[in-house]
């Protein structure tokens, strides 16, 4: 079980689902949404995400691309995103986790559009766009029995 919260603490949640592969996204939209050089997220089964507090603080922005980004209306912290084409999957923003995790990022993506001032200084695989590999971008592994 993982627990997390937004910056101001209005939103608290738990995740009772395995994390999918962790990716570091350098696309312009993630940079704008985070105010930083990239977003770090992993797919989770939406059924495994549960709000403990802050349903009234959770706001959403639906982009014309079919992606909806959910965030705290008080502090602006991004919580997760959801694609119309993947209704049972959330992309959880890992910076909100309060529970330590052993998993580490596995790759960078949208590096063709990364900020010109950003230097990637690790040896993780880099993808100029969204990887086609479902193991990287698809649903997380099934729950253990």
Q: What is the CATH number of the domain that holds 124?
A: 2.170.150.70
Q: State yes or no: pLDDT of 142 exceeds 70.
A: no
Distance in angstroms (rounded) separating the CA atoms of residues 120 and 112: 12
Residue 13 belongs to a domain: yes
Taking only the tens place, the pLDDT of each residue in 38-70 is 999 999 999 999 999 999 999 999 989 888 999
Q: Decide if 31 is inside a domain.
A: yes
pLDDT score of 144: 56
For residue 137 the two structure tokens come to 């971008």
Give the single-character DSSP code of 85: T
Q: What share of the chain is helix, strand, coil (3-state, %, to 5)?
A: 15, 35, 50
Is it the case that residue 32 has pLDDT exceeding 70? yes
Any domain includes 6: yes
Mean pLDDT of 17-37: 90
Confidence of residue 138 (pLDDT cuts 50, 70, 90): low
Q: If you average pLDDT over every residue of the chain, what do you get?
A: 91
Number of independent structural domains in the chain: 1
Question: Residue 145 domain-assigned?
Answer: no
Helix (H, G, I), strand (E, B) or coil at 111: helix
In a domain, 142, yes or no: no
The yes-or-no verdict on residue 141 having pLDDT over 70 is no
Distance CA 129, CA 113 (A): 8
| 92-127 confidence digits (pLDDT tens) | 999 999 999 999 999 999 999 999 999 999 999 999
Ramachandran bin of 109, using left for φ above 0, alpha for ψ from -120 to 50, beta for the remaining angles: beta
In which domain, by residue range, is 64 found? 2-136
Rg (CA), the chain: 15
Give the predicted TM-score (pTM) of the model. 0.87
What is the model's pLDDT at position 139? Answer: 63
User: Any bridge partners for residue 50, and if so which?
Assistant: 14
Residue 7 lies in a domain: yes
- Categorize the per-residue pLDDT at 137 as very low, low, confident or very high, splitting at 50, 70 and 90: confident
């Amino acid at each position: 079980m993982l627990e997390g919260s937004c910056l101001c603490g209005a939103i608290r949640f738990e995740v009772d689902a395995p994390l999918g592969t962790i990716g570091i996204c350098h696309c312009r939209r993630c940079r704008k949404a985070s105010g930083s050089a990239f977003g770090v997220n992993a797919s989770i089964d939406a059924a495994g995400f549960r709000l403990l507090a802050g349903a009234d603080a959770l706001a959403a922005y639906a982009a014309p691309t079919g992606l909806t980004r959910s965030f705290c209306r008080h502090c602006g912290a991004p919580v997760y995103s959801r694609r119309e084409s993947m209704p049972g999957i959330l992309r959880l923003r890992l910076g909100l986790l309060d529970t330590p995790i052993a998993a580490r990022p596995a790759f960078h993506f949208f590096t063709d559009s990364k900020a010109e001032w950003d230097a990637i200084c690790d040896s993780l695989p880099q993808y100029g766009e969204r990887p086609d590999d479902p193991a990287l971008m698809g649903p997380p592994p099934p729950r253990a029995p």
